[in-house]
């Protein structure tokens, strides 16, 4: 039975991604965005008037005290995520936080501990887990219908020019926390792990190929998953023909998705191995299609919150892909050594931040 309660939502950080949140709340009948906050009061006011939101603040604490929301949408850059999430839990609200959930694993640990102590949910926005195609492929993989996953490729080949990196906070460890692996590759790494599950080891290297950055503009990694599949991962900010893609070869099929910032059924393909063509007739995508987006993610989280159910798999496990990213940086710091989850759990520095040596290949 679904309750008739309506969620009072507030949003902090009225920048670019906040628009996707406002649209997603708008599309959901049982939630209302009652207020927004931003460091810039003017930006908050402008955003509120654009979406017909009743109140605009320049201070999160004041907004929490005044509005007593059920849920806080955290849309600020990663730096303030921890403090804002803790404040939201202290006020009794649930939190939906944008990727990356925190600039370090230690900070994310604090956020998860605060969620548990407050008995509230911490949902993370990796919207590329959503969409009917990803759900379908995940179910096929998890049921064993495609046989055992064997080998995978995960590519984030994006193009960010010199001007993009000229913004003072970009490309620097202190202000961005990481390079293209943390900022861009994390989406595809997250989808890969959503499909293949827990990881067993990571080896990685960081490269500076062309851009004027302190962080990496490319990285390469090998990930071994617990269930036995091995994945090659390449992430780049210097690739003119851009693509985000995943390929998984199983005992019975090759699954691919090729897209850029979001995917629908046409972006996915399941190719049967010789001899499995007849079986493949049962692998067809469902008739009704929903693309990956913020809207299905927020809808499914809101449904779970209203019904008192656990978070959906599209928004739970906030640490998994951040751990993969951290492990790539930790491995690079040890000249490509193998990093396991237990290495990462007690790593002397890489739970606190990701700064690592980058091999400079610029000419
Ligand atoms: N899921 C996605 O596809 C996606 C896409 C873009 C960005 N993001 C993520 O969303 C977050 C925000 O990115 P963006 O591109 O919207 O950034 P942005 O710079 O456009 O907006 C951030 C806003 O937060 C405000 N802000 C900063 N610090 C604040 C603070 N302490 N208190 C209140 N307001 C504060 C800024 O004034 C700004 O208006 C990042 O974590 C980013 O990685 C996710």
Domain 7-125: which CATH number of 3.40.50.720, 3.90.1280.20, 3.40.50.300, 3.30.870.10:
3.40.50.720
Distance 14 CA to ligand 1 centre (A): 7
| C-alpha to C-alpha distance for 158 and 218, rounded to whole angstroms | 10
88 within 8 A of 68, measured Cβ to Cβ: no
Q: Which distant-in-sequence residues (6+ apart) come within 8 Å of 183 by Cβ?
A: 100, 176
Q: What is the pLDDT of residues 9-62, one digit of tens each?
A: 999 999 999 999 999 999 999 999 999 999 999 999 999 999 999 999 999 999
Q: What is the pLDDT of residues 294-321, one digit of tens each?
A: 999 999 999 999 999 999 999 999 999 9
What is the number of the ligand 1 atom nearest to the C-alpha of 43?
A: 39
> Is the distance from the beta carbon of residue 262 to the nearest atom of ligand 1 less than 6 Å?
no
Q: List the domain boundaries for the chain.
A: 7-125, 130-271+320-360
Asked if pLDDT for residue 226 goes beyond 50, the answer is: yes
> Is the distance from the beta carbon of residue 99 to the nearest atom of ligand 1 less than 6 Å?
yes
54 within 8 A of 48, measured Cβ to Cβ: yes
What is the number of the ligand 1 atom nearest to the C-alpha of 83?
A: 31
> Is the distance from the beta carbon of residue 180 to the nearest atom of ligand 1 less than 6 Å?
no
Asked if pLDDT for residue 4 goes beyond 80, the answer is: no
Predicted confidence at residue 29, as pLDDT, reads 97
Q: What is the pLDDT of residues 66-123, one digit of tens each?
A: 999 999 999 999 999 999 999 999 999 999 999 999 999 999 999 999 999 999 999 9
| C-alpha to C-alpha distance for 153 and 228, rounded to whole angstroms | 14
Predicted confidence at residue 262, as pLDDT, reads 97
256 exposure class (CB count in 10 Å sphere: 0-12, 13-18, 19+): middle
CA 120 to chain centre: 20
Predicted confidence at residue 3, as pLDDT, reads 54
User: Which residue, 102, 147, 98, 153, is CA-closest to 123?
Assistant: 98
CATH hierarchy code of domain 130-271+320-360: 3.30.360.10
Q: What is the SS3 assignment for 248?
A: strand
DSSP letters of 30-68? Answer: TEEEEEEE-SSHHHHHHHHHHHT-SEEES-HHHHHHHH-
Predicted confidence at residue 5, as pLDDT, reads 86
Q: What is the SS3 assignment for 320?
A: helix
Confidence of residue 1 (pLDDT cuts 50, 70, 90): very low
Mutate to test the pocket of ligand 1, among 56, 60, 75 (most ligand atoms within 8 A of CB): 75
| C-alpha to C-alpha distance for 141 and 137, rounded to whole angstroms | 6
Order of strands across the sheet that contains 253-259: 268-272, 253-259, 238-250, 149-159, 230-236, 218-225, 199-208, 359-360
Distance 125 CA to ligand 1 centre (A): 13
Q: What is the pLDDT of residues 310-362, one digit of tens each?
A: 999 999 999 999 999 999 999 999 999 999 999 999 998 999 999 999 999 99
Distance 98 CA to ligand 1 centre (A): 8
Asked if pLDDT for residue 63 goes beyond 70, the answer is: yes
Asked if pLDDT for residue 192 goes beyond 70, the answer is: yes
Q: What is the pLDDT of residues 118-165, one digit of tens each?
A: 999 999 999 999 999 999 999 999 999 999 999 999 999 999 999 999
């Amino acid at each position: 039975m679904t309750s008739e309660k309506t969620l009072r939502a507030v949003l902090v950080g009225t920048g670019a991604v906040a628009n996707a949140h406002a649209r997603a709340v708008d599309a959901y009948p049982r939630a209302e965005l009652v207020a927004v906050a931003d460091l810039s009061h003017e930006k908050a006011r402008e955003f509120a008037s654009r979406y017909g939101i009743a109140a605009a603040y320049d201070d999160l604490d004041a907004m929490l005290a005044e509005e007593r929301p059920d849920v806080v949408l955290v849309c600020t850059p990663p730096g303030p995520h921890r403090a804002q999430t803790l404040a939201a839990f202290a006020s009794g609200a649930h939190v939906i936080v944008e990727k990356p959930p925190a600039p370090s694993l230690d900070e994310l640990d604090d956020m998860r501990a605060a969620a548990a102590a407050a008995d509230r949910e911490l949902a993370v926005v990796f919207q590329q887990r959503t969409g009917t195609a990803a759900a379908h492929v995940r179910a096929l993989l998890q049921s064993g219908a495609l046989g055992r996953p064997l080998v995978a490729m995960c590519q984030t080949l994006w193009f960010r020019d010199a001007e993009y990196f000229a913004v003072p906070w970009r490309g620097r460890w202190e202000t961005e926390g990481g390079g293209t692996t943390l900022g861009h590759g994390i989406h595809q790494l997250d989808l890969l792990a959503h499909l293949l599950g827990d990881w067993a080891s990571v080896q990685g290297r960081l490269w500076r190929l062309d851009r004027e950055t302190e962080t990496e503009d490319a990285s390469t990694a090998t990930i071994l998953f617990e269930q036995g599949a091995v994945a090659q991962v390449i992430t780049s900010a210097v690739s003119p023909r851009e693509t985000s893609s995943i390929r998984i070869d199983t005992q019975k099929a090759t699954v691919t998705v090729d897209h850029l910032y979001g995917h629908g059924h046409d972006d996915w393909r399941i190719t049967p191995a010789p001899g499995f063509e007849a079986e493949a007739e049962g692998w067809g995508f469902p008739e009704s299609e929903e693309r990956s987006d913020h809207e299905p993610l927020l809808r499914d989280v809101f449904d779970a919150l209203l019904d008192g159910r656990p978070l959906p798999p599209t928004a739970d496990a906030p640490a998994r892909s951040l751990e993969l990213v951290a492990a790539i940086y930790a491995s690079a710091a040890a000249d490509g050594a193998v990093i396991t989850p237990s290495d990462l759990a007690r790593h002397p520095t890489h739970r606190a931040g990701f700064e690592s040596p980058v091999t400079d290949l610029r000419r």
